[in-house]
Amino acid sequence: MSTLTTRDVVVVGAGVVGLSVAWRASTRYGLAVTVVDPAPGRGASHAAAGMLTPVSELQYGEESLLELNTESARRYPAFAAELADASGLPSGYRTCGTLAVALDADDRAVLKDLHAYQERLGLSSSRLTSRECRRLEPMLSPAITGGLHVDDDHQIDNRRLVAALLAACERAGVTFVRERVERILVTDDRAHGVRLANGRDLSADQVLLAAGCRSALIPGLPPEVVPPVRPVKGEILRLRVPPVMAPFLSRNVRGVVKGGSMYLVPRADGELVIGATEYERGHDTETTAGGVYELLRDAHELVPGVTELPLVETLAGLRPGSPDNAPIVGRSSLAGLVVATGHYRHGILLTPITADTVAEVLALGTTPEIIRPFGPDRFETVAREVMA
């Protein structure tokens, strides 16, 4: 079995997480990085909607995650501009704001409670009447009973983001190996490289595990350091707004429809993304008629005109979910292994902060304060206790 050249870092997985860290580690710190992935950029990062909505998607009890999310959103404009410059491609970042709307009294009560919670946390949002919502977005149904406007929640076209990250990595001299990692190589309590599906070994000083929802499935690691990620399926639709119907929507629209939440994300180029279902069904990525039906039914309730638009794509992706819905980022207790996975519903939002902080961990060995609560050690202790 031959061993390829030793590199500073080998990154397992080329989604937004692996790519953005590879780019930062290479350009900011001069590390020699190799990224291994049989299909770069085609995982959850390809399926996603690209909403950057820490305030509108606030969940009760997730205050520490909120801080990470809002800090990443704050870094986005500079990150996107630097990426566009480095790649020569548009980043797809769009400042547009987000309007959450309600249909019936129960849905309106959900938004009212959310607004009160946002205010308690010092976040900026404003409640709107039905008429005010429709003044902002004339295509909304007259049945809308009210809404919540968040001026600072934006979006990025995640496919443009991935394309720009790939180009920026290539320009920065990151090496790509289009192979599957079959095993992480560990000897004498140290991760020192990976074995590829073609039988070759690639050695490195450090391994970054960033394989999204498959991060727990790659053999070789001691059980206690395997990050507990699982796939959370999401179906999503892409429609096209013909120029005569533009602008169909001007900002992200989130809806609470009979207790469930869904969204419509209008791109500057006329694409309209509608998402997303959420199921726990293992690694199944089949798009179901029921999922597409539900999304179109709810979207039609909020914005009746959607059913006139061409349906361009239906797709299912797998979010990398973690036990507490927060990412798992930082140095593991296994020497040589750094982890960046479990970003669940917010991996696109968390791209800038993940890139900055994990690149620092790899290059300097220091863990920035803001990611300390999200280290792999919070699950390693539990795993050790279970195994004892």
Ligand X SMILES: Cc1cc2nc3c(=O)[nH]c(=O)nc-3n(C[C@H](O)[C@H](O)[C@H](O)COP(=O)(O)OP(=O)(O)OC[C@H]3O[C@@H](n4cnc5c(N)ncnc54)[C@H](O)[C@@H]3O)c2cc1C
Residues of this chain that interact with ligand X (CB under 6 A) are 12-18, 36-40, 42-45, 47-51, 180-181, 210-212, 214, 218, 234, 236, 275-276, 317, 319-320, 341, 343-349
CB of 14 to ligand X, least distance (A): 5
Query: Measured from the CB atom, is 34 or 130 closer to ligand X?
Result: 34
Cα 138 vs. chain centroid, distance in angstroms?
30
CB of 52 to ligand X, least distance (A): 7
Distance from C-alpha of 87 to C-alpha of 69, rounded to nearest angstrom: 25
CB of 129 to ligand X, least distance (A): 27
CB of 105 to ligand X, least distance (A): 28
Query: Measured from the CB atom, is 130 or 166 closer to ligand X?
Result: 166
Q: Is the dihedral of CA 186, 187, 191, 196 positive or negative?
A: negative
CB of 146 to ligand X, least distance (A): 23
31, 8 contact by CB (below 8 A): yes
Three-state DSSP class for residue 267: coil
Query: Measured from the CB atom, is 34 or 45 closer to ligand X?
Result: 45
Residues in Cβ contact with 308 at an 8 Å cutoff, skipping those fewer than 6 apart: 245
Look up residue 283 and give its DSSP letter. B
CB of 37 to ligand X, least distance (A): 4
Query: Measured from the CB atom, is 162 or 309 closer to ligand X?
Result: 162
For every residue of 154-209, DSSP letters joined together read EEE-HHHHHHHHHHHHHHTT-EEE-S-EEEEEEETTEEEEEEETTS-EEEEEEEEE
377, 369 contact by CB (below 8 A): no
Query: Measured from the CB atom, is 14 or 140 closer to ligand X?
Result: 14
For every residue of 9-50, DSSP letters joined together read EEEE--SHHHHHHHHHHHHHH---EEEE-SSTT-SHHHH---
CB of 314 to ligand X, least distance (A): 11
The angle formed by the CA atoms of residues 15, 18 and 20, to the nearest 5 degrees, is 95
Of 327, 332, 335, whose CA–CA distance to 374 is shortest?
Answer: 327
Order of all β-strands in the sheet with 230-240: 126-129, 146-150, 98-102, 252-257, 260-266, 271-275, 230-240, 311-321
Query: Measured from the CB atom, is 43 or 376 closer to ligand X?
Result: 43
Query: Measured from the CB atom, is 212 or 330 closer to ligand X?
Result: 212
Query: Measured from the CB atom, is 57 or 108 closer to ligand X?
Result: 57
CB of 210 to ligand X, least distance (A): 6
